[in-house]
Amino acid sequence: MRRRSLLGDIKKLSQPVFTTFELSTSSGKSSSVVIQGLNNLVEDGLVTKVYRGIWAQVGNDQLSPYAAIPYLLTRHRAYVSFISALYLYNIVEQIPQVITLASTSHTKLIRTKLGVFSFHQLTPKFFKGFDWYKAGLSGRQGSGKFLIAEPEKALVDSFYLSACRKKQFGYFPELSFPKSFSFKKVKQWALRIPDPKIRAHVFKKIAVVTLKRKA
């Protein structure tokens, strides 16, 4: 397969990250032919293999680790939350080394060429409070079409996990809340936690943060 022909097919997709299936379907070429062509483009430094069946166009202005998120779990949705979401909202300063996400699937760690993604399981009844990321949402890098928790839900998600032997999610060196941040909404989300023990734990964490904020 001619490299220019396949590159043209990739550009027609108009997305920085894509799958073998998407490119095969769009181009009308078989998966085996597409994979062979993509491997040739990898050798040329024009494409990188992100993960199994997932590829990215090198040099694409919209390429970021976040662009790979919709492709990593094939049977479950996931949204950016916890530390990563709080960072994107400028609530925490420290840059997360791992992108943290909430999902209803089993907790897992996925290492890719674009970054490391840590998926944490939430009960389906609490898998809410997220929307599509909007460009310009913050000054932090986060380009790509992906789901993200609203800031109040991201904080509650963090405290939720800290009750489930995930102590690293319960303590933050410093939190800086914007004026738009609503602690009333935080408490409303906490009330929706199904497990009473986890709910009580989360409210204790909220009380500590509220006191520090007033101090």
pLDDT at residue 170 is higher than 90: no
- CB atoms < 10 A from the CB of 153, how many? 25
- HSE at residue 75, side-chain half, CA atoms within 13 A, is 3
Please indicate whether residue 1 or residue 57 has the higher confidence score (pLDDT): 57
Helices (H) and strands (E) in the chain, counts: 8, 9
Burial-class residue 102 by CB neighbours within 10 Å (0-12, 13-18, 19+): buried
Q: Which tokens sit at 52?
A: 């199994």
Range 5-10 average pLDDT = 91
Tell me how far apart the alpha carbons of residues 90 and 214 are, in angstroms, rounded to a whole number.
Answer: 19
Position 139 scores a pLDDT of 46
Spell out the domains of the chain, with CATH numbers in brackets. Answer: 3-57 (1.10.10.10), 65-214 (no CATH)
pLDDT at residue 214 is higher than 70: no
Position 166 scores a pLDDT of 62
